[in-house]
A and B are shown apart, each in its own frame.
Chain A
C-alpha cells in the first residue's frame, strides 16, 4: 500500500468518516459549494464520506494536495464520468438518459481522463506549448484581441455582459486564431461551449442533457473539421507540432486524430478561462479602491488575477480515483474509490489562508488549488494566467473606464462551474489623465 505524507489523524476506514449528507443537506451543497465548505471548516471537518457511493469528498487544503500528488490517485475512467452524467438525469427526472454519444468521444480525447502510461505522453504533447515561455510568446496576440473586443463594446455604448460579451469572445477569438479556426466560426464555438456547460449541472433535466449532447456533437465536429483543414493547409506551426507529437504517442486508447484531440483539450482554454477572467474582474471591481490601486500600479495585475481565481476558480471540483489501495493520514482508501476534490474549498481553507473569504491584493502567494494539483494539474494554467493578466491590464488601463452596473446578480447554483448569472458592465474609452 502506498502512503501519502501527512499526520495520521483520520480514522482507518472510510465508513468511519463523517457523511457529507449528514452535515450538509444535498440541496445546500449543490446550491453553494463555497458556503457549504466554509460550514465544514467551522466544524473542523476536511475529509468526508460521500454517502452516495462510498467515495471520499475532500475540502481541506492539505489532504487535497497530498492526495492530488499521490502517484496512485489518478483520473476517473470515461465510463465512470458518462455513467454518472446519466445517473444525474435519472435522479433528477426519473427519465432514462440515453447514450452518451459525443460526450463519450469528447472525454476520451481529453488528457484529464487519461492514466499512465498514456497520460504523461499525451500531456507532454500539449504541455510543451503551454509552458510560460511559449504562452508569453502569444501575449502580443492576446493584447490585440482584447483591444479589438473592447473597441467593439465601447462602440456598442450600452451595458454588456462581461462574461458573454467581453471575456468569452476574447478567449475564444484568441484560441481559434492560434488554432487556425476561421474568425467567423468563433461566435458559434462560444455559443456551443455555453450549451456544453450543462455537463457540469448537478441535477440536469432530459432537455439539459439533450442540449449538452447536441452541442458537444456539433462542437467536436466543427472544431475537429476546421482544425484538420487548417493543419492540412500546412501553415500552422502549432497544429503541425501537435500532430507530430500525437504521432509519437503510439499507445492504445490514445487520441486517434488531431481535430478531436484539439477540440477536446482546448475546450477548457476556450471556455473555462473566460469564466476565470470574468470572476477575477467581478472580485476586483467589488471594491473601487482595489480597482484604483491596480490602475495606479499595474504590477498588481498578477495579484489581482491570482486572488480572483483563488476566491472563485471556475471549475470548483473534479473527481479522481484511487487506482491502487492508498493510505492517507491513517485512512485506508481501497482501489476504485472515487475522490471528489473540492478545489474551491482548498483555496478557502483557513488552515492555509488568513481571512480566506476576503479579497486582498497584498496576499502572499500560497499553494493555490484553482488549477487543481499534482501530476494532473491543469496544463493550461500558464495560458489562463497570461490571458487573464493581459485582459486585466487592458481593463484597468488609464484610457479605459469600466462601470459595473451591479454586483448583485448572484452565483449560478447547481453547477460545478462557478460563474455569475451576469456581470453587466459599461465600458468607455476615456482620455488618459
Chain B
C-alpha cells in the first residue's frame, strides 16, 4: 500500500499507509494527524486541510480546481508553490512516498 508522510510542527512525522483512491485528508483525519481537520469533508471549501507538498510530487498532482484555488488564495497562512488541500490529493501508486508539511499555524 502506498505511503504518505505528514510533517508537522517541530518536524513531528506521521507515516501512514494510504489505500489507492483515498484522499490524504481522510487518511490524516482517520489517524488523528495534528492540524488536519477537514470540516467540509472534502469539497475544498474550508481550507482546514492545507498542506505543502514536497517535490517531486507536486507535478504529479492534478491542477487545482476553481474551488481549491479560491480557498488557497483565501487562507491566512502563507501559501507556497507546493500548497494544496489534502482533501484534493487522492492516493495513487505514483504518489507512494509523498511528503506533505502541515503549516505550523494549523498544528
Tell whether A pairs with B. Answer: yes
Contacting chain B: which of A51-59, A128-136, A264-272, A315-323? A128-136
Q: Does A82 contact B (CB under 8 A)?
A: no
Report how far A139 CA is from B59 CA in the complex, Å: 37
Let me know if A375 is at the binding interface, CB within 8 A: yes
Check A375–B47 contact: CB distance below 8 A: no
Report how far A214 CA is from B3 CA in the complex, Å.
59
The answer to whether A132 and B76 have CB atoms under 8 Å apart is: yes
Cβ–Cβ contact B75 & A123, under 8 A: no
A131 contact from B42, B47, B66, Cβ within 8 A = B47
Chain B hits for A131, CB < 8 A: 47, 70-71, 73-75
B70 touches A375 (CB 8 A): no
Nearest A-chain residue to B30, judged by Cβ: A5
Select which of A5, A123, A134, A374 is within 8 A of B74 by beta carbon.
Answer: A134
Interface membership of A113, Cβ < 8 A: no
A-B contact count (CB 8 A): 54
Q: How far is the CB of B11 from chain A (nearest CB, A)?
A: 20
Contacts of A371 in B (CB 8 A): 39
CB nearest to A120 among chain B residues: B67
Interface residues on B, range: 20 to 34
How does the 8 Å CB contact mask read for B27-55 relative to A, with 1 for contact and 0 for none? Answer: 00100000001111111011100000000
B39 contacts A373, C-beta separation under 8 Å: yes
Evaluate whether A132 and B40 lie within 8 angstroms (CB atoms) in the complex, with A123-B45, A375-B45 already known. no
Q: Which residue of A lies closest to B71 (CB)?
A: A131
Give the complex CA separation of A320 and B31 in angstroms.
Answer: 28
The answer on a CB contact under 8 Å between B40 and A373 is: yes
Q: Any chain B CB within 8 A of the CB of A127?
A: yes
In chain B between 48 and 92, which residues have their CB closer than 8 angstroms to a CB of chain A? 66-67, 70-71, 73-76
Q: How many A residues face the partner with a CB closer than 8 A?
A: 23
| Complex contact B45–A377 (CB within 8 A) | yes
* B20 nearest CB across to chain A (Å): 16
B26, B70, B76: the one contacting A136 at CB < 8 Å is: B76
Could you tell me the distance between the alpha carbons of A131 and B47 in the complex, rounded to whole angstroms?
Answer: 9
Residues in A neighbouring B45, C-beta threshold 8 A:
123, 127, 375, 377, 379
Q: Does A124 lie within 8 Å of B41, measured CB to CB?
A: no
Residue of A nearest to B22 (CB): A5
A21 at interface (Cβ–Cβ under 8 A)?
Answer: no
Residue in B39, B67, B75, B76 whose beta carbon sits within 8 Å of that of A367 in the complex: B39
Return the contact of A127 from the options B38, B41, B42, B70 (Cβ within 8 A): B70
A68 interface residue per 8 A CB criterion: yes
Report whether B74 and A375 are in contact in the complex, using a CB–CB cutoff of 8 Å.
no
A69 within 8 A of B: yes
A132 in complex: contacting residue of B41, B42, B47, CB < 8 Å: B47
- Of the candidates A128, A133, A373, A379, the one whose C-beta lies within 8 Å of that of B41 is A373
Q: Give bound CA distance, A26 to B70, whole Å.
A: 44
Q: How far is the CB of A394 from chain B (nearest CB, A)?
A: 21
Known: A123-B45, A131-B75, A132-B76. A377 touches B40 (CB 8 A): yes
**Could you tell me which residues of chain A, from 118 to 150, have a CB within 8 Å of some CB in chain B?**
120, 123-124, 127-128, 131-134, 136
State how many angstroms separate the Cβ of A249 from the closest Cβ of chain B.
13
Contacts A367-B29, A373-B39, A375-B41 supplied; 8 other A-B pairs, CB < 8 Å: A131-B74, A132-B74, A132-B75, A133-B74, A374-B41, A374-B43, A377-B46, A379-B45
Which residues of B approach A to under 8 Å, CB–CB? 26, 29, 37-43, 45-47, 66-67, 70-71, 73-76
Query: Would you give 11 A-B contacts (Cβ < 8 Å), ordered by A?
Result: A69-B41, A123-B45, A124-B66, A132-B74, A133-B74, A365-B37, A367-B29, A371-B39, A374-B40, A374-B43, A377-B39
